[in-house]
Amino acid sequence: MRTSIATVSLSGSLTEKLTAASRAGFDGVEIFENDLLASRLAPEEVRERCADLGLSIDLYQPMRDIEGVPEEEFGRNLRRARHKFEVMRRLGAGTVLVCSSVHPLAVDDDDLAARQLSRLADMAQEFGVRVAYEALAWGRHVSTYDHAWQIVERADHPALGTCLDSFHILSRASDPKGIEDIPGEKIFFLQLADAPLLAMDVLQWSRHYRCFPGQGGFDVAGLVGHVLRAGYDGPLSLEVFNDVFRQAEAGPTAVDAHRSLLVLQEALGLADLPGAVVPTGVAFAELVTPDAEPVSEVLGALGFARTARHRSKPVDLWQQGEARVLVNTGPAARREGTGLAAIGLESPDPAGAARRAEALLAPVLPRRRAADDVPLDAVAAPDGTELFFCATGWPELPDWRGDFEDLRHTATDSGVMRVDHLALVQPWHHFDEAALFHRSVLGLSAQESVDVADPYGLLRSRAVTNADGSVRIALSVGAAPSDDTVHAQHIALATDDVVAAARRFLAAGGRLLPIPANYYDDLAARFEFTDGELETYRELGILYDRDAHGEFRHCYTRTVGRVFFELVQRDGGHRGYGAQNAPVRLAAQHLTGG
Amino acid sequence: MRTSIATVSLSGSLTEKLTAASRAGFDGVEIFENDLLASRLAPEEVRERCADLGLSIDLYQPMRDIEGVPEEEFGRNLRRARHKFEVMRRLGAGTVLVCSSVHPLAVDDDDLAARQLSRLADMAQEFGVRVAYEALAWGRHVSTYDHAWQIVERADHPALGTCLDSFHILSRASDPKGIEDIPGEKIFFLQLADAPLLAMDVLQWSRHYRCFPGQGGFDVAGLVGHVLRAGYDGPLSLEVFNDVFRQAEAGPTAVDAHRSLLVLQEALGLADLPGAVVPTGVAFAELVTPDAEPVSEVLGALGFARTARHRSKPVDLWQQGEARVLVNTGPAARREGTGLAAIGLESPDPAGAARRAEALLAPVLPRRRAADDVPLDAVAAPDGTELFFCATGWPELPDWRGDFEDLRHTATDSGVMRVDHLALVQPWHHFDEAALFHRSVLGLSAQESVDVADPYGLLRSRAVTNADGSVRIALSVGAAPSDDTVHAQHIALATDDVVAAARRFLAAGGRLLPIPANYYDDLAARFEFTDGELETYRELGILYDRDAHGEFRHCYTRTVGRVFFELVQRDGGHRGYGAQNAPVRLAAQHLTGG
């Protein structure tokens, strides 16, 4: 289906918005009136610009407080409308959105509303314009889609139809099934938005918290299904008012927006995308660093051995059990300090995984390959992390380790078995997109979002995982756009005995994050422990949590650059990440400077 | 009365919080448990630190899910409580907050709740601790203050009393009058918070949007009145969960917090502060600049003349009518670029105004005076703007112009009469404080806060004024902590003919901000104008608005550094600031780079 986006959903000047929409692959736009008013381009120039960009102008919006008002007021409204229809003619916009009235003088009289809308449609027809009448969820007398449709039906005018907006319908918990009773050709437009399920004033909810389909709690796809069964064949158009998107760069927001519509169409069987290939494990985590020494020291103390070296690049492979860490001192590394730059994901079909990622607008990474390097598919996640699709040790698929030369070093067995999870800091403006990306592109499941108190602001954190927990990625975002929350980026290593692993690490010269004694007094109040258990945790700095699924014990190394390591012992199927302990960990990191 | 603040209301480590509370003048603190857990200080050390800082520990908080639960669960709760009472003994904290249960197993049985709380109080008594039981607004079975009191009354235990929290009471719109029926000695504690009136989930409202008394919409003073009439003589304590304060520096937040309690006590007749001296006009606006030339050009084109020069400092006085602008090229100026640094406010009692400001914790500015300079009282507003209290031309009061030497230049009469308003950008973390500061310290009235769409994010704006509108200050804040929104800082000049003033400005070589033609097409749709009127506005770049009170016409100069000027014509008592036009103005400023 054709896709469209309202200019109000993107930041910047009108021309920036149009360019971003076009580049992200949208077919059309809704022009939000204020964006036109603030633009230097005359309506004719906007029309040309859109044509150059391959965008149709699917809707001009909005007209407000038109109907159900006293005749004198309505006369002024018609005068205003004539000016707007003239602007639409210059723009080449064929449909105008009319929102149900919130005017203080509006009366509850469907017949009057229908007659006035009909007169408006008469005038619109002279300009070749269609009027799409929509019920605002907070409309004074008309606030449900079926009521708006009754008025349109009563007016029975060829230039008057209805506009459906998923937010206005689903925020009121209206049953969307009745949409199927509306003749498809009378549904002039369909606006889509999702939203988190919040108990708040619906106007504020609508104006500040809408999000793209799949990022909130509404069944937007279900609603679209009803609209399609009614016979609607217009565009799927996103109208999203969101305080965060207002500040974000238009380009990435438009890409996230278009991805949400691709996923929506796939859910409805309308888009033929390459199927999701769910990753089955973590092949490696890649650190970039200008100086391999500090990272190597920590890895060495953790029992890792430098087992191989890339044949053509300054990249070392450190390994213990199935946990692999690449340490890259290449040119990119020297610019940015020590950080987690890439993740290798085990995939049963690396090429298929990359095809799906590309179809869902993930940038495919150009590979700086030497002639005989193993082919390796990679894309960029929204936060810039490089995702490599790997098939480590699978017969008949290329193995990325083929590019590495074995150094014949052997790891000390210090109990690290594999990567438990990776924690990535997300750009503030794209936190919701990150979860949608990992869900739709990689086929992972998103867990609930949790708030974590840092001494200097609230963080939000959300994990995405595969079914058996062999891939877990914890996404977190700081309290404000300016917040770098560097401490959240880390590599958690799974062990079946965190006490032994911590002791070995300390014996090998490693340094763990010190945890305050008060934390252990609180643990003693909350849980009963076997003799000596709590004392051991206190001595080593091990944190503890327990839920219905089992126990979680963990400790942290000191931070190197922007990265630290965690040792994690999960028992009995515990599915958490120690969120309960995160405030203590964050405070400790602030106190020690990492 | 004694004042206290919960550590959760301030950002940082526990020691940072304690230091900030002490410096701002609080007598005590509530220790929030998580702050203690995350601290390196042992409870005894916290006790000592507080004693050194002159702070009592008025409350330890919170204990949750204690009462109304099955016996086995309650046994675990008592075990947990014993640990906490032991910690409180080490801390020297005499009262613990127990919140009404939200436990899934809690039953609706007041008798059980009373018996269990009584058993808890038995144990507390052994440790010399009092238990203050509080109804959470979202408590499972106990959610109102009178219900909590009934349970306390039923338990009839000397170590068990109630804690009242203004948020929990007023968010549920409970009638606080019934508080007077509680014996004062059974009100063990009083927690105060205000909040904006939001229609949202009460738990989220409480956890993220509380604010200091006087910053929200609750009648906190009225509630405290009831509590005092009941005979309560404990501290007034602030417990404010707020996402913004969590990120702000603890020091200024603590000062804002303490000021709110001083104002509250004044409203209740409990504090004897110097009375407010409401300013009666704007004596001057002071620009600092490293280079006087660009600002002087704009002032000259606006018809201002350089009429005087400070005798001992590099400060020029520019004047036209009653509008005065100081241009300061002193050392501070050279560091910070061109900006609006100070405001002179006409005051019938400058010394009294300064005394009140000082009593309300506004920093008194040290004056770098020469020996024979006129004494001039000044304080700093929360945004750092210097406020001078002046008595221009008043007999028997020193006139600040006495420090200036007349240059015998005369202004062209270009129709500027006085300063209409001053627009100041507020630090993101202290927007709500700014309005409270201007209201309480200066005796100005705050208007409603409005959202303004900038192309790159939403701004919020709020004006404070005196009764006759001769002092108007528009406070605005950007979309995010990192947002500098430089364009919002400006000096608006009143004229009774903005068209003539704009023409003179252009004729004198001034440059006005160009406004897009589309804006005027929209004006034509919205309003009817006399012949040629709209064309004139379009030609000059004049913006227009109208409300029930009259008309508002205005235009903008180009920006110099971080400041621009506005020419404003108000007719018929219009009270706005052109908020409707602000998005167009902001977009135009982004397009032209000011």
Query: Is there a contact between A38 and B516 if contact means CB atoms under 8 Å apart?
Result: yes
CB atoms within 10 A of CB B543: 24
Q: Which residue from B12, B201, B591 is facing A456, i.e. has the nearest CB?
A: B12
Question: Which residues of chain A from 188 to 247 reach within 8 Å of chain B, CB to CB?
Answer: 198-201, 204, 243, 246-247
**pLDDT tens per residue, range A66-94:** 999 999 999 999 999 999 999 999 999 99
Q: Check residue A482 and give its pLDDT.
A: 62
Q: If contacts are CB pairs under 8 Å, which of residues 114-153 in chain B contact chain A?
A: none
Query: Bridge partners of B445?
Result: B465
Mean pLDDT of B111-129: 98
d(CA B101, CA A407): 61
Question: What residues in B contact A42, CB-CB < 8 Å?
Answer: 517-518
The whole-angstrom distance between B519's CA and the closest CA on chain A is 5
CB contact under 8 A, B521 and A83: yes
Chain A neighbors of B584, CB-CB under 8 A: 34, 37-38
Q: Between B483 and A362, name the one with better pLDDT.
A: A362
Contact between A39 and B516 using a beta-carbon 8 Å cutoff: yes
Q: How far apart are CA A149 and CA A146, in angstroms?
A: 5
Averaged pLDDT of chain B:
94
Give CB contacts under 8 A, 24+ apart, made by B75-80.
B77/B116, B77/B120, B78/B119, B78/B120, B78/B123, B79/A525, B80/A525, B80/A526
- Nearest chain B residue to A525 by CA distance is B80
Q: Is B446:B464 a contact under the CB 8 Å cutoff?
A: yes
Q: Is B72 exposed, middle or buried (0-12, 13-18, 19+ CB in 10 A)?
A: exposed
- Cβ within 8 Å, pair A587-B519: no
CA of A499 vs chain B CAs: smallest distance (Å): 22
Residues 434-463 of A with CB under 8 A from B: 453, 455-458
Instruction: Please judge whether B246 and A456 are an interchain contact, meaning their C-beta atoms are less than 8 angstroms apart.
Output: yes
CB pair distance less than 8 Å for A583 and B36? no
Tally Cβ neighbours within 10 Å of residue B219.
Answer: 13
**Does A75 reach chain B within 8 Å, measured CB to CB?**
no
Please answer whether residues A14 and A7 qualify as being in contact, where contact means their C-beta atoms are separated by less than 8 angstroms. yes
Order across the sheet with B323-328: list the strands: B377-380, B386-390, B339-346, B281-288, B323-328, B315-320, B305-310, B404-406
Q: Which of A200, A517, A518 sits opposite B200 (nearest CB)?
A: A200
Nearest residue of A to residue B429, measured between CA atoms: A480
Q: Look at phi and psi of residue B323 and say left if phi exceeds 0, alpha if psi is from -120 to 50, else beta.
A: beta
Pair A586, A487: CB distance under 8 Å: yes
pLDDT tens sequence across B528-548: 999 999 999 999 999 999 988
- Six-digit token string for B267: 């409203």
In Å, the largest CA–CA distance within chain B is: 90
pLDDT of residue A375: 78
Of B13, B83, B519, the CB nearest to A521: B83
- Tell me which residue in B80, B200, B525 faces A198 most closely, judged by beta carbons: B200
Which H or E run contains A94? none
User: How is residue B209 written in tokens?
Assistant: 């949007």
Predicted local distance difference test score (pLDDT) of residue B500: 97
Task: Give me the residues of B, 512-551, that contact A with CB < 8 A.
Answer: 516-519, 521-522, 524-526
* Helix-then-strand count for chain B, H and E: 19, 25
Contact criterion met (CB < 8 Å) for A516 and B39 = yes
Any CB–CB contact under 8 A between A408 and chain B? no
* Best residue in A90, A428, A521, A546 for a mutation probing chain B (most B CBs within 10 Å): A521
Question: Which amino acid makes up residue A41?
Answer: L
User: In angstroms, rounded to a whole number, what is the distance separating the alpha carbons of residues B456 and A498?
Assistant: 48
Q: How many residue pairs bridge chain A and chain B with CB atoms within 8 Å of each other?
A: 144
d(CA A448, CA A228): 31
Beta bridge partners of A133: A98, A162
Chain B residues with beta carbon closer than 8 angstroms to that of A482: 480-482
Distance CA B135, CA B99 (A): 6
Among B40, B89, B529, the residue to mutate for chain A (most A Cβ within 10 A): B40
CA distances from A111 to A100, A114, A117, A147, B237 (A): 14, 5, 10, 12, 58
Determine the pLDDT at residue B59. 98
Encoded tokens for B226: 């009831």
Predicted pLDDT of residue B482: 62
ω into B398 cis (within 30 of 0): no
Q: Residue B27 — very low, low, confident or very high, per pLDDT cuts 50/70/90? A: very high
Residues in chain A closer than 8 A to B87 (CB atoms): 518, 521
pTM: 0.92
Q: If you measure CA to CA, which chain A residue comes closest to B588?
A: A38
Q: What is the pLDDT of residues B486-541, one digit of tens each?
A: 456 899 999 999 999 999 999 999 999 999 999 999 999 999 999 999 999 999 99
Nearest CA in chain B to A429: B480
Q: ipTM score of the complex?
A: 0.90
When scoring B19, B64, B518 by the number of chain A Cβ atoms within 10 A, the one with the most, hence best to mutate, is B518
**Structure-derived torsion over alpha carbons of residues B255, B261, B264, B269, reported in degrees to the nearest 10:** -110
All residues of chain A having their beta carbon less than 8 Å from the beta carbon of residue B33 are: 522
Q: Is the peptide bond before B62 cis (omega within 30 degrees of 0)?
A: yes
A38 contacts B587? CB cut-off 8 A = yes
**CA-nearest residue of chain A to B589?**
A38
The 3-state secondary structure of B382-402 reads: CCCCEEEEECCCCCCCCCHHH
Say if the Cβ atoms of B38 and A12 lie within 8 Å.
Answer: no
Residue B364, chain A, CB below 8 Å: the answer is no
Task: Judge contact between B24 and B257, C-beta under 8 A.
Answer: yes
The DSSP bridge pattern shows strands A187-192 and B160-165 to be unpaired
Confidence band for B289, pLDDT divided at 50, 70 and 90: very high
Rounded Cα distance, A486 and A484, in Å: 5
Of B247, B479, B525, the CB nearest to A84: B525
Contact check, Cβ <8 Å, B584/A37: yes
Here the tokens at position B47 are 């006790």
- CB of A12 within 8 Å of any CB in chain B? yes
Q: What per-residue confidence (pLDDT) applies to B409?
A: 85
- Best of A41, A244, A518, A534 to disrupt the B interface (most B CBs within 10 Å) is A518
Task: Report the residue from A39, A456, A526 with minimal CB separation from B518.
Answer: A39
d(CA A19, CA A36): 15
B477 touches chain A (CB under 8 A): no
Our CA-based measurement puts residue B201 at a distance from the nearest CA of chain A, in whole angstroms, of 5
CA distance linking residue A404 with residue B77, whole number of Å: 57
Classify residue B581 by its DSSP letter: G
Q: Does A43 touch chain B (CB under 8 A)?
A: yes
Taking CA–CA distances from B526, the nearest residue in chain A reads A80
Residue ranges of the alpha helices (H) in B53-161? Answer: 71-91, 110-126, 145-155
Q: Is A484 on the interface with B (CB under 8 A)?
A: no
Looking at the DSSP assignment, which residues form a beta bridge with residue A320?
A323
Task: Mention every residue, 6+ apart, whose C-beta is less than 8 A from residue A281.
Answer: A322, A345, A346, A418, A470, A471
Interchain contact, B243 vs A204, CB within 8 Å: no
Q: Which residues of B touch A39 (CB under 8 A)?
A: 516, 518, 587
Cβ of B331 under 8 Å from any chain A Cβ? no
The Cα A260–Cα A438 span in angstroms is 12
Which chain B residue has its CA at the smallest distance from A586's CA? B38
Backbone angles phi, psi at B470, to 5 degrees: -80, -15
Q: What share of chain A is helix, strand, coil (3-state, %, to 5)?
A: 35, 25, 35
The predicted model gives B235-244 an average pLDDT of 94
| Those residues with Cβ within 8 angstroms of residue A448's Cβ, 6 or more apart along the chain or in another chain | A462
Given a cut of 70, the residues of chain A with pLDDT beneath it are: 332-335, 368-370, 481-488, 594
Pairwise CA distance, residues A459 & A581, whole Å: 13
Whether B38 sits inside 8 A of A482 (CB atoms) is no
User: CB–CB of A453/A505 below 8 Å?
Assistant: no
Instruction: Look at B11 and A453 and tell me if their CB atoms are within 8 Å.
Output: no
Q: Which residues contact A130 (CB under 8 A, 6 or more apart)?
A: A94, A95, A96, A121, A124, A159, A160, A161, A188
Rounded to a whole number of angstroms, the distance from the CA of B430 to the nearest CA of chain A is 15
